[in-house]
Structure 1
Amino acid sequence: MTNLEPALQDTRRWLERAVVGLNLCPFAKAVLVKGQVHFAATERDDPAGILEAFAQELDALLACDADERDTTLLVIPRGMDDFLGFLDVVARAERLLRKRGLEGEVQVAHFHPRFVFAGTDEADVTNCTNRSPWPTLHLLREASIDRAVAAFPDASAIYEANMERLRALGQAGWDALEVGPSR
């Protein structure tokens, strides 16, 4: 087991129990079941190194057929504990996509253990919809998103449904999922 393996296992458990288990993303189950989710982690802990790892995973995703690898979760176990610092890396990853002319082809979503929606209190359980055990950059193919949204008639309702689901679950229910880092 590499020293990155626990972070990868934690992320898989979070995806299975929270994202798929609570149906936070109705599109995730199909790609997970088909083995089309690639889990990667980087040893790098500095923004430049993380962006290098992001670029490598981006190239690897684009080199694969979507039937083989539809999406990639890049887990960053070190150096991104600060949520605002992580958001800067997210913005730089998005700029990299634009520079490469990949807008409309690949999208970056992000998850963080200390994720906070603007205008919410840090302790608000609804923040857990975007909380992962480790800082994570999610590379998604736009064509896959388009297909999923077309199959789900009211995709805009997902956000509100997730907020209600988390409020009903409560912090104790979220904690019972045991989807944090194993450290």
Structure 2
Amino acid sequence: MSERPAVALSDPLALRAYAHPLRMSLVGLLRREGPLTATQAAGLLRESVPSCSFHLRQLAKYGLVERVEGADAREKPWRATALSTTWTAASDDPEIRAAADHLDAVVIRRLYDRAMQWLGRRDADPPAWRSVTGPGDDLAYLTPEELGELSRRIDALFDEYRPRQADPSLRPPGARPVHLGYYVTTLEQR
């Protein structure tokens, strides 16, 4: 799966479909765990099987997941079609911009929720993990081109570790799933 390109969403319907929190959780789970049936996904996410089945079918309509061969004729697992999803709000179409803004808001909320959950369990982490995790921020004066280049460089750094997501044999001993969440905003001009 690591050779597959990112799924690029540009249709307002696809952007809105992906903005559903359970759908994002399903795609993330399939990216982390590999192929799963709706029943397996429901158990891991503590959701109902019919709900997961419905949302997996919706995700398939937009190319985010697909069926794969199961161990037998009854098993019908799903897998994520790529290790990442991209979209942009840089469009002249107001419907696309509105859908991208909605998706961005859902992602930012999920980043906040994930950070707060981590904060609640941080003390249980060993000191080695506590010393390298946590929030941070920075400020720079950049042009749009420079900011684009900085984002590409961050992605390139992370690319080295992406194959471990799909292939557990590449994970060194002691490796844990780590979420690197960030968003870039401009500040008000004064």
TM-score by length of 1: 0.29
Larger % of strand: which?
Answer: 1
Higher-Rg member (1/2): 2
TM-score by length of 2: 0.28
